[in-house]
A = this chain, B = another copy of it.
Amino acid sequence: MLHLVNKSPFDGCSLDTAAAIMKGGDELLLIEDGVYGAMKNGKGAALLDGLKVSVLGPDLAARGIPEDRLVDGVSVIDYAGFVDLVEANDKVQSWL
């Protein structure tokens, strides 16, 4: 199962709930303002511990976040990688 979060960790509880609901084998993809959740020293960092996390590179670049500011172990992917994640997981949960 692929979990999509598109909100900043300060805007609602989508990242909190997604992280709490995720099971072993699930994956998390941060898109749009959700990419702020993967920042080192940010509010989201603590939530990502032990999770398999990707962020959408184009959204990261738009917001001026260099990749070295991300929590260790986070993958940066493009829209094609997003499609691959959707294919690799049996379903998608958008935490709107």
Contacts and interface: CB of A to CB of B under 8 A. Distances in A.
A10 B13 CA distance: 7
Contacts of A11: 11-13
Number of copies of chain A assembled together: 2
* Main SS class of interface, A: loop
Interface string A11-53: 1110000000000000000000000000000000000000000
Nearest to A13: B10
Contacts of A10: 12-13
A88 B75 CA distance: 53
A11 B10 CA distance: 9
Nearest to A11: B12
Interface of A: 10-13
The 3 tightest CB contacts between A and B, nearest first, are: A11-B12, A10-B13, A12-B12
